[in-house]
Amino acid sequence: MRKREILVFTFLILSWHIKCQITGELNIPNQTSTMPSWAKLMYEEPINFIRLSEAYNSFYKSNPYVKDHYTRYYKRLIMNYRNSMSENGDAIPKDIESIETKFRPKNLESRTQIPEWKVYEMETFFLEKNRQGCPWQANVYAIEVSKSNPNILICNTETEGLFKTVNKGKTWIQIAKENINSSEAIAIHPKNPDTVFMGSNGLIRRSVDGGLTWNTVFTLSGLWVYDIDIPVSNAYIILASTNKGLYRSINSGISWTQIFSEPSSDLKVLSAKNNIIITTKYNATLKQYYPVKSTNFGMTFTDKKSGWYSNPDGGVRMAITTADPKRIYAIALTGDKGPHLMRSNDEGETWTIMAKGSYTGYDSPEFPLDNWQGYYDLSILASQTNADEVITGTGTMVKSTDGGKTFKPLGGYGGAFPLHPDFQASIAIGNDSWIATDGGLTYSTDFFTKLKIPKLGIMESMVAIFGVLMQDGMRIFSLVEDIIMAIQSTMKII
């Protein structure tokens, strides 16, 4: 009689990375008088997830479900605090390093090794166009390209996977598997691609081996990093825009100084004059981010509001171009007037409002863009070969070929390109341009001018708690939470 070993519902944490990674004040939707009643519980301190979940479920039993800022943020909160709440349902502040230590095996050699899961490759399509390949459900929130070797890229996914390519996206490897890689800010050193900085929940990390291993170089409770940049001509200086202000290191991240305490949503080091830094600074009275400028590598900053819009906003993103080193584009989500596109032609000294969207996007045909789901679906990208070409977007990406005066839909919910909706991040270097969406990465060599069919590449997986049945030496995995999903697809290459 064969020996039967049965191990029922032994829970494996296949990935503690199932905490959603996007936090920080700019990613929290504004409270309004028209918000659903359950959503008010998301702003309590601490959040009680038992009461929040009961209110959410009760509300949608008698009201139609609507995908909006609040329902999406609710999903992210639930994922983010899945393993960080007390017995009574209160949210507990997360300590990433403590969580990593808790789940990291103490003695790998003494433990039975479980075979590594392999990617099951598959292709997905637009539902309405069953012949056209399309990026789908691999949410990429950060993308960085090495300035010294553009074949090297690093990207970060919603489920906290960190991926690297050394051949411009033909093949990818997952790196830093033992870390919680929640981030929307990655910076590869401009002269040494083995040195990489990444901002996360409560900390900034540095790698000196191309991202394989990481050391924490800065910690601060409640910190969220929106952007990191490094001047090429003074590459010991590291700058970080965060919800706790602008931070600066002059010794490659060994120590850090707070330059100002107001939140900063984005950061750009000008390409021709690396001593000039343009960043944003929050005015709590006006509820607005506005530009500030440094000419001494970020030591001090001066307000540069001339021509800037006057509305409250929900965050600003910026783009620069080597085709015109003095030009800077900025996109802001104003509170009730929709997106505003600004442009500076003089290194950030003065600004001009080039285009205004609308709250719904339907009332602004020359700039058909709305606020969509807020700052975490906002990016802007300028061509590095033609300064008049710029792409920005929220749910849909739009493109201008006249310096930001008029725009046409490019992809997402409209436009010819097979781009998944929700514009998360973007980057351009030379002729290469990359767009990151909720469907993965899309690559172009002509700034998204000619339409081509994308190919498969990177994957994202969201796999968490499974029951394991051992019978006659065979493993059978059964899902014990209907909310858990396994997703395999796609990094797309055009």
Which pLDDT value is given to residue 25?
58
Interatomic CA distance for residues 230 and 240, integer angstroms: 9
Could you give the CA distance from residue 457 to residue 278 in angstroms, rounded to a whole number?
35
Q: Are 194 and 216 in contact (CB under 8 A)?
A: no
Mean pLDDT score, 88-108: 66
Q: Is residue 405 part of a domain?
A: yes
Q: What is residue 165's predicted lDDT score, i.e. its pLDDT?
A: 92
Q: How many domains does the chain have?
A: 1
What does the pLDDT read at residue 465? 33
At residue 160 the predicted structure's pLDDT band, cuts being 50, 70 and 90, is confident
Q: Are 267 and 281 in contact (CB under 8 A)?
A: no
Helix or strand or coil: residue 75? helix
Mean pLDDT, residues 88-117 taken together = 62
pLDDT band at 358 (very low <50, low <70, confident <90, very high): confident
Distance CA 226, CA 242 (A): 5
Residue 362 has pLDDT above 50, yes or no: yes
Quote the domain boundaries for residue 188.
125-444
Q: Residue 287: left if φ>0, alpha if ψ -120 to 50, beta else—which one?
A: left
How far, in Å, are 27, 68, 75, 84 from residue 46 at the CA level?
A: 18, 23, 17, 12
3-state secondary structure of 301: coil
| Nearest Cα residue to 349 out of 388, 311, 292, 271 | 292
| pLDDT (tens digit per residue) in 264-297 | 999 999 999 999 999 999 999 988 999 999 999 9
Q: State the Cα angle at 394 between 349 and 396, rounded to 5°.
A: 125
CA 458 and chain centroid, separation: 16
**Which pLDDT score, from 0 to 100, does residue 77 have?**
78
In this prediction the pTM is 0.78
Q: Does 10 map to a domain?
A: no
Question: pLDDT tens for residues 382-435?
Answer: 999 999 999 999 889 999 999 999 999 999 888 888 888 888 899 999 999 999
Band (324; pLDDT cuts 50, 70, 90): very high
* Reported confidence tier of residue 245, pLDDT bands at 50, 70, 90: very high
Quickly state the pLDDT bin for 314 (edges 50, 70, 90): confident
Relative orientation angle of helices 49-62 and 69-80, to the nearest 10 degrees:
140
Mean pLDDT of 476-485: 30
Tokens of 48: 């009680």
Asked whether the predicted pLDDT for residue 466 surpasses 70, the reply is no
Contact call for residues 145 and 188 (beta carbons, < 8 A): yes
**Mean of per-residue pLDDT scores for the chain:** 79
The DSSP element (H or E) to which 58 belongs, if any, is helix 49-62
Predicted pLDDT at 313: 79
Q: Which of 478, 467, 469 is nearest to 7 (CA)?
A: 469
Q: CA 282 to CA 226: how far, in whole Å?
A: 13
Q: Is 294 exposed, middle or buried (0-12, 13-18, 19+ CB in 10 A)?
A: buried
The Cα–Cα gap between 158 and 153 comes to 17
The full length of the chain comes to 494
Residue 192 included in any domain: yes
203 pLDDT above the threshold of 90: yes
Tokens of 466: 């499974």
pLDDT of residue 135: 53
**Helix-then-strand count for the chain, H and E:** 3, 32
Residue 3 Cα to chain centre, angstroms = 50
Residue 337: per-residue pLDDT = 78
DSSP string, 91-131: B----HHHHHHHHS-S-GGGSPPPPPPPP-----EETTEEE
pLDDT category at 126 given cuts 50, 70, 90 is very low
- Where residue 287 sits, what CATH number does that domain have? 2.130.10.10
- Domain membership flag for residue 50: no
Confidence of residue 94 (pLDDT cuts 50, 70, 90): low
User: What does the pLDDT average to over 362-370?
Assistant: 83
In a domain, 322, yes or no: yes
Residues 12-26: tens digit of each pLDDT: 333 333 333 444 555
pLDDT above 80: residue 114: no
156 closest CA partner among 92, 91, 103, 201: 201
Instruction: Look at residue 111 and tell me if it is in a domain.
Output: no
Residue 93 confidence (pLDDT) above 90: no
Average pLDDT estimate for 448-456? 67
Distance CA 404, CA 337 (A): 18
State percent of the chain over pLDDT 90.
46
CA count, 13 A, side-chain hemisphere, 190: 15
The answer to whether position 266 is within a domain reads yes
Query: Higher model confidence: residue 463 or residue 406?
Result: 406
> Which of 294, 295, 268, 231 lies closest to 427 in space, CA to CA?
268
Over residues 25-80, the pLDDT tens digits come to 556 777 778 889 998 998 888 889 889 989 999 999 898 887 777 887 787 777 66
Under 8 Å between Cβ of 318 and 266: yes
Burial class of residue 342 in the structure, from the number of CB atoms within 10 Å of its CB (0-12 exposed, 13-18 middle, 19+ buried): buried
Q: How far apart are CA 237 and CA 416, in angstroms?
A: 41
Are 19 and 182 spatial neighbours (Cβ–Cβ below 8 Å)?
yes
What mean pLDDT is predicted for residues 363-371?
Answer: 85
Given this model, what pLDDT does residue 492 score? 37
Give domain status of residue 161, yes or no: yes
Say how far apart CA 136 and CA 75 lie, in whole Å. 19
Residue-level pLDDT at 307: 96
Across 86-90, 286-290, 361-365, least confident range: 361-365
Which residues are within 8 A (CB) of 189 and not within 5 positions of it... i.e. 6 or more apart? Answer: 148, 195, 196, 197, 230, 235
What confidence tier does 452 reach under pLDDT thresholds 50, 70, 90?
Answer: low
Q: How confident is the model at residue 179 (pLDDT cuts 50, 70, 90)?
A: confident
Amino acid 107: pLDDT: 53
**DSSP summary character for residue 13:** E
Read off the pLDDT of each residue in 459-466 and give the average, rounded to a whole number.
41
Does pLDDT of 261 surpass 80? yes
Q: What share of the chain in percent tops pLDDT 70?
A: 75
Give the N- to C-terminal CA distance of the chain in Å, as an integer.
57
Tens-digit pLDDT profile for residues 343-353? 999 999 999 99
Structural tokens at position 195: 């040195």
Dump pLDDT digits (tens) for 129-154: 444 555 555 788 899 999 999 999 99
Q: Tell me whether residue 360 is exposed, middle or buried, using C-beta atoms within 10 angstroms of its C-beta: 0 to 12, 13 to 18, 19 or more.
A: exposed
What integer is the mean pLDDT of 81-85? Answer: 72
